[in-house]
Amino acid sequence: MRQDPDAETRDELAAVITRAASGDAAAVADLDDRFGARLEFGTAGLRGELGAGSNRMNRVLVAQAAAGFAAYLRERAGDSTASVVIGYDGRRNSRRFALDSAELFAGAGLRAILLPRLLPTPVLAFAVRHLDADAGVMVTASHNPPNDNGYKVYLGGADSGSQIVSPVDAEIAARIQQVADAGDIGTLPRSTAYELAGEDVVEAYVSATAAVAPAPESAKGMTWVYTAMHGVGWETFARILDAAGYPRPKTVGEQLNPDAMFRTVSFPNPEEPGAMDLAFAAGRRTGADFILANDPDADRLAVAIPDEAAEGGWRRLSGNEIGLLLGARAARAAEGTPGASLACSLVSSPGLGAIAAHHGLDFHETLTGFKWISRAPGMVFGYEEALGYLVNPETVRDKDGISAAIAVLGLAAEARERDETLASLLADLGETYGHFASGQVSVRVDDLSIIGKVMLALRTLPPTRIGETPIASAEDLMEAAPGQPSGDVLRYTLADGSRVIVRPSGTEPKLKVYLDAQAASADQAKATVEALEAGVRTLLEERS
């Protein structure tokens, strides 16, 4: 509390201490939760709830992270001066955390470059490469709850602007811990001699992204809806639409501008039930052809299409459906290119492998996260089922919901020339590459230990079937062979060829189970996934 420069969190902590000193059991438990652990720095950087304490996101923790990261970068750079770009979104304290970082980086002797205003995460990832920086930091919690924030780290040079991976995360974490152990952050050198990046960085991103899919003549008649989900995507996306020649969408005005409170959604993630209800309503009012939605930091993309069978008349496409559409687009363009490959996380649809094989491309399956996907050799397209897509790897080595939106607009416009729709393009995928269906069972918990107990139960008492279907083989990726992806993941292949994968979420308090099936028809594949879902729910109840 003495070293915290933030009056709000100092007062917050003082109030908890006062209640705990008077014997308030809830306040004692609150202190234990805040200080009984330290918010862990890993391959996703930092992410957690805002508040006072070592187990929360606050100015003390961010200062320690910035100073520790600066020490790592100085050692990595040797005699040269390391450079780092800092970006931030519209969440609570994002700008404050970014300014603290810029001052601490500059104070540590680094060349610190702060982006000119709040901007999408993909712009920061782009800027690392565009400015040939040694590293980048993005202050964002992406699509997490409103009271969360985070600290995402990228490396330039040989890492090409990708997110950090092991063992770099542990090396940075060790230096952060050294700063924390040293005591008062008030003694850390600071400087206001950081640079403010020019608008030319944003203009370069706009130009590069508009080139992903310039609008054909048929785009002029498209009617569509867009929502920024209270995030930072719209201003940049609108400029790209104009540069690429697409018509402006009908926008969800209530969600168009940054709002740290996310007032119209209970959870600012387009995957969550209800998050796109306002967009669906706008789609019905305007008779839109489709809907596009970015998450709050615009690194993810959701797509919805009209569907009379769906509640409300709109169906949100799954991440796998969008990924296969964009993957087929990339594969057609790359066919015949030596070494070109498609890549996806191991929990994404095996349909991408079928697309790669059809077009004679290499295929790579990685651990979850774009820190791994972005490193796949020869990759021309990569995706993960959680609405993340990398369509322009020569420009941005991370998921990018804005460039993915431009690619989808290009697909929709080209389909329109042939009197087709995104729905008919999906049907064409099945006829060309095989019928794949995917599903997910997601269990949110309040106590993270529950997830560990379920994973342990599945390992110590392995299932022999899921529902009525026997398990043909099981893999524990904690025991993966050298050179193979390893992690806290269980993968089951069933006798009918379908697949079930179980893993803890890396960013949320959830246990996730991914279901995939291939069949002779779309209806058969869907029915197999529905049966798997029922079987998985029963299995989790038995192991909980």
Q: Is 191 noted as a catalytic residue in this protein?
A: no
Size of the chain, expressed as the number of residues it contains: 544
Annotated catalytic residue, options 83, 142, 318, 374: 142
**Single-letter amino acid code for the residue at 372:** W
According to DSSP, the β-strands at 469-476 and 465-466 are: antiparallel
CA neighbor of 503 nearest in space, from 354, 348, 339, 300: 348
- Please state, in angstroms and rounded to a whole number, the distance separating the CA atoms of residues 70 and 191: 13
- Please state, in angstroms and rounded to a whole number, the distance separating the CA atoms of residues 46 and 376: 24
Please count the other Cβ atoms lying within 10 Å of the Cβ belonging to residue 363.
18
- Please state, in angstroms and rounded to a whole number, the distance separating the CA atoms of residues 442 and 451: 11
- Rounded to the nearest angstrom, the gap between the alpha carbon of residue 237 and the centroid of all alpha carbons in its chain is 18
DSSP codes joined into one string, 388-404:
EEE--TTT-SS--HHHH
How far lies 271's CA from each of 282, 384, 440, in Å?
Answer: 18, 13, 12
What tokens does 440 get?
A: 């997910």
Please count the other Cβ atoms lying within 10 Å of the Cβ belonging to residue 251.
17
Radius of gyration of the chain (CA): 23
Q: Residue 202 in contact with residue 116, Cβ under 8 Å?
A: yes
Helices (H) and strands (E) in the chain, counts: 16, 22
Q: List, by residue number, the catalytic residues.
A: 142
